[in-house]
Amino acid sequence: MKKSLKSLLILALFAVLLVGCSSKKEDKAADNKKVENSITITGVNGEVTLDKPAKKIVVLEWTYAEDLLAVGIQPAGMADIQEYHDWVNIDAELSKDVADVGGRQEPNLEAIAALEPDLIIGTSFRHDGMIADLEKIAPTVIFNPYPEDEKMDLYQEMITTFNEIAKAVDKKDEAKQVLADLDVKYEEAKTTIENAGLKTKDVVLTLAYTGPQAPEVRVFTPNSMASIMLEKIGLNNIHIPDQFEIYGSSTYNVEGLTKYEDANYLYIVQADDNIYEKQLKDNAVWKNLNFVKEDRLYDLGGDTWLYGGPLSAETLLNKITSTMVSK
């Protein structure tokens, strides 16, 4: 009887050991699978590792929503949706199911948490101060669209960020195709510009609005994303700033435009804040600029977004070619 009991105890112990070993093997296999499926993306806040590709993403800046749309992904939540529709004009439609999570500058943390996202994407100049709060909700990656390094242009930053976001949702191949298609469109636009018979290929690209004291005009610098697109299609941005402009533009009043009057004037202005039809309509300085007198003004529309991703780049190319050729 004692021998039989001893045998049973040994068998039971052996069974426990087998279960333990099996469990450890299963845990190790699960851990290995977790590592295989994990994705590491890099922002200005360092490396962010996801256990698997993100499915529910909250974006706190329009560009990052556009980046997702470019690879066929709808964000779960987004900031400032209504204004996005006012300023951004791309072929990919934002779903009506995308939840509004408040303003870009001050997003609603409760609304974000309610979506239970896999990933939150923000921008440094707006969201550095709330990273800790965002990370309590979900893994958070922060990008900086305006690097302080003067050697890095804003176009390259846009491409780098687009590829990181595509990696986060396991759409690297799709992103590669988007960029390849964009390169083709640059060549097509360049040919169109070459055949347009323009008096000059010198340009300035501007965005205008009503300032606190008077109308203000942003003139885009050579390091800006939009200016680099102009160069890619054979146009020459003649604005050289006196100092490094981190945001890619210099701000002038109408008198500051006199040194550019022999170039083509490309402009973006909102219909409800059209300084050219209102404040500058009878302005003597404006009326006597050569590009005004010679009708070398090219309206690109209020919703041609100059701070976006590859899809906004395509919109800009289409607007420039169609507007400049039609004249």
- The answer to whether the 39-172 and 179-326 domains have the same CATH topology is yes
Question: Class of 179-326 per CATH?
Answer: alpha beta
71/89 Cα distance (integer angstroms): 17
Q: What is the pLDDT of residue 29?
A: 44
**Any residues with CB less than 8 A from the CB of 62 and at least 6 apart, and which?**
78, 80, 84, 87, 88, 104, 305, 307, 308
Please name every residue paired with 50 in a beta bridge, in sequence order, or none if there are none: 39
Residues 21-37, mean pLDDT to the nearest whole number:
55
Count of CB atoms situated within 10 Å of the CB of 212: 5
Mean pLDDT of 154-178: 96
Specify which residues 141 forms β-bridges with.
Answer: 121
- Spatial separation of the C-alpha atoms in residues 172 and 162, rounded to whole Å: 10
Q: What is the pLDDT of residues 185-208, one digit of tens each?
A: 999 999 999 998 899 999 999 999
pLDDT range class, residue 325, cuts 50, 70, 90: confident
Domain ranges of the chain: 39-172, 179-326
Cα–Cα distance measured from residue 13 to residue 62, given in angstroms and rounded to the nearest whole number: 61
Rounded Cα–Cα distance for residues 9 and 16 (Å): 11
Whether 242 shows a pLDDT value over 60: the answer reads: yes
For 2-19, how does the pLDDT look when each residue is reduced to its tens digit (9 = 90+)? 556 666 666 666 665 666
- 28 Cβ partners below 8 Å, 6+ apart? none
Residue 32 confidence (pLDDT): 47
Band of pLDDT at residue 244, cut at 50, 70 and 90? very high
Q: Does residue 31 carry a pLDDT above 70? A: no
Q: What angle do CA 163, 311, 221 make, to 5 degrees?
A: 85
pLDDT digits (tens, 9 = 90+) for 294-304: 999 999 999 99
Mean pLDDT for the stretch of residues 152-162: 93
Average pLDDT over residues 257-262: 96
What is the Cα–Cα distance from 72 to 74, expressed in whole angstroms?
7
Q: Write out the two tokens for 167.
A: 């990696």
Distance, C-alpha 8 to centroid of its chain: 67
Q: Smallest Cα–Cα separation from 226: which of 142, 153, 151?
A: 153
Bridge-based pairing of strands 202-210 and 215-220 is antiparallel
**59-118 residue pLDDT tens:** 999 999 999 999 999 999 999 999 999 899 999 999 999 999 999 999 999 999 999 999
Q: Tell me the two tokens of residue 255.
A: 């008198």
- Cα–Cα distance for residue pair 195/220, rounded to 1 Å: 25
Q: What is the pLDDT of residue 30?
A: 45
C-alpha 43/C-alpha 159 separation (Å) is 13
Contact present, 72 and 174 (Cβ < 8 Å): yes
Query: What percentage of residues in the chain have a pLDDT greater than 90?
Result: 82
- Looking at domain 39-172, which CATH architecture does it have? 3-Layer(aba) Sandwich (3.40)
Dist CA 115 CA 118 (whole Å): 9
Distances from the Cα of 221 to the Cα of 44, 103, 227, angstroms: 24, 28, 7
Helices of type H across 116-223: 124-127, 131-137, 154-168, 172-194
Are 134 and 122 spatial neighbours (Cβ–Cβ below 8 Å)?
yes
Least-confidence region, from 15-29, 37-51, 158-172: 15-29
Do residues 220 and 206 make contact, with C-beta atoms less than 8 angstroms apart? yes
37 — pLDDT class (breaks 50, 70, 90): confident
98: nearest Cα among 73, 121, 123 = 73
Rg (CA), the chain: 27
pLDDT of residue 4: 64
Q: What is the mean pLDDT of the chain?
A: 90
When pLDDT is cut at 50, 70 and 90, the band that residue 148 belongs to is confident
β pairing state of 119-123 and 99-100: unpaired
As a whole-number percent, the residues of the chain with pLDDT over 70 amount to 89
Judge whether residue 138 has pLDDT over 60.
Answer: yes
